[in-house]
Amino acid sequence: MGSAKTRFSFSSEKATSIKADGLIIPVFKKPAPKADSKAKSPKEVDPSASIVWPVTLDKTLKDEIEAIALEEKFDGSKGKTLTVRQSSANKLGARRLVIVGLGEIDKVLPRHWEANAHKALAGLLGLKDFKSVAILLPEATEKLSAEAAVSLAVDAVFQATYKSMEAKEPGPKLDSIILISDKKRENTLQQAQALAEARSLVKDLVNHPSNLKTTNTLVEQAKTIGKNSAIKVNVQSSSAWIEKNMPCFFTVAKGSLASDPPKFISLHYAPKSGKAKKKIAIVGKSVIFDTGGYQVKPGDYMVTMKGDMTGGAVALATMQALAALQPQNIEVTAYLAATPNKIDSDAMIPDSIVNTSCGKKVEIRHTDAEGRLTLIDAVTKAAESKPEEIITIATLTGAASVAVGSYIALMGNNEALRDRIAVAGRSQGEPIQTLDVTEDDFENIKSKLDGADIINTSQRKNRGAQTAAAFVMSGASDEMPMAHMDIAGADMTPDEKATGVSVKTIVQYLLNEDASLGGGKASAPKPAAKSTTTSKAAPKGKVAKAPATAPLKSPAKKGAAKGTPKKPSDRQPPKAKPAASPKKKK
């Protein structure tokens, strides 16, 4: 957990006068001169002349910064930093000033601010006795709102101070953070802390070692969240009930009935007024550990499979945030079908045909495509409560990491829903790429056997992420608006630590929906752009088209790269050319 005890406050004082151990000032870079400009060539220009300063600097400090900028060629470009020490001459209030380049103002994205604030904070925390930091919030831009600037600064603090629960040494501590702004945004700060705490919870759950993590780990966390009176928790732990009512989920659980039997967990949030205007369901993939089953994963791909329950962790953390923020107009239920995918004498085997909660029969072609088997039944159960939309989050396919790299692959059967989620996530600095799920994807999961309806792999070699999404969406009716987030390429850092990705997207989306329905004291900040598409669902395979006025454009319809697995199993990318080191992608 990170920054749980850090005090956050606002100040409108002059940034360079504030007393703190560290001071972070973001700067923009002036646009490059046009080709026909008479400006001097870059070699003749002092780099500091390219910097757009958000504050007025004392002459001595300005001269010192310009000298250092010239020496280090600092011009405000994205990702570059410049450090100045406090002295009696420059009259800095802080012991150390870090100037962070964000690049040209019209090109700055929310994630750029978060990443660079994190970088600057991590650098300061590496110094001795740095306990207080002041952060000048960047000027609001077309894509970075003032509210998002607050939220992302807070999240950067949590990230910079985060250590796993099992860490041998505690993480760096920050006693206080001063956010320098001409306006106090206490409501936004409350939301920002709830989002950052939710992200830390996801990291804690995912980073928990595989030998210690069981289905009960998620159950106990659900019960902890359920101590808030706004949350009602239900845990179905009867294997007999699950076998009867969720047979596809039970098929995956058969390999671990003796060691870690399945649990079907649900958490329900409703406003105290009891007058919610919209019901939303969230389903998170909760495979505690994934061996691949009898079609076992290669050793390198099995590493980090303790994170195959990230979707479930995101669902739990979302409910924790809702309990803290108490939105007034939405009712949300989260569902987790929790089980390991292990090997036992009774574990599922290829060529099986199994039932589902929705009535479709599934042909099992690959035991490592297990996540969608748990999700299809969970989606059906979610749909039974008649929500107005369903959102699924899963570390589902290696094909997603091949197709979009370390981005969230966001899909759905309804462009309006998908695009609203994309707007929310991007405003919170999350990397998102939208993909289309087409009629062909639903055709490609049709079984060729006369005893089955669908198959848990694709009939073709490509579009593994989209066909997996089509399988999951098959658990609900064609009319149910659904969005699917495949986070298999974004859930872990290159050094195999949880990122907590997607929880900020989900929570911000829910807050945006609450605000659009009338809001409340915890209503969300307005996003930088808002989709104007309708909410009408499209039949499966026929994606609802957004009107021309929609601010987000769908990318060209592309399948996964040529390396997509012939049998697109969950989280196992091609062996020949993995997207990154074998231990990174599953």
Q: 226-516 belongs to which homologous superfamily?
A: Zn peptidases (3.40.630.10)
Q: Which of 80, 254, 285, 297 is catalytic?
A: 297
Residue predicted with more confidence, 273 or 578 = 273
Looking at residue 428, its pLDDT comes to: 98
Looking at residue 524, its pLDDT comes to: 42
User: Measured between alpha carbons, how far is 443 from 438 in angstroms, rounded to an integer?
Assistant: 9
Looking at residue 170, its pLDDT comes to: 87
Looking at residue 127, its pLDDT comes to: 94
How many other C-beta atoms are found inside a 10 Å radius of the C-beta of residue 243? 16
- Percent of the chain topping pLDDT 70: 86
pLDDT greater than 80 at residue 73: yes
Active site residue 73: no
Strands 20-29 and 51-52: antiparallel
Q: pTM of the entire structure?
A: 0.89
Residue 326: C-alpha distances to residues 285, 411, 505, 507 (Å): 25, 28, 17, 12
Q: Class for domain 7-184, per CATH? A: alpha beta
| Every domain range in the chain assigned CATH 3.40.630.10 | 226-516
Dihedral class, residue 293 (left if φ above 0, else alpha if ψ from -120 to 50, else beta): left
pLDDT in tens, 235-257: 999 999 999 999 999 999 999 99
Q: Which amino acid is at 30?
A: K
Active site residue 297: yes
pLDDT in tens, 454-507: 999 998 889 999 999 999 999 999 999 999 999 999 999 999 999 999 999 999
User: Measured between alpha carbons, how far is 160 from 81 in angstroms, rounded to an integer?
Assistant: 17
Looking at residue 32, its pLDDT comes to: 79
pLDDT in tens, 75-91: 999 999 999 999 999 99
pLDDT greater than 50 at residue 530: no
Hunting for tokens 């915890």 — which residue is that? 522
Q: Over range 279-293, report the average pLDDT.
A: 98
Cβ-contact 204, 158 below 8 angstroms = no
Looking at residue 87, its pLDDT comes to: 95
Residues 6 or more apart in contact with residue 477 via CB below 8 angstroms: 383
Dihedral class, residue 47 (left if φ above 0, else alpha if ψ from -120 to 50, else beta): alpha
| Every domain range in the chain assigned CATH 3.40.220.10 | 7-184
Q: Which of 96, 372, 381, 504 is catalytic?
A: 372
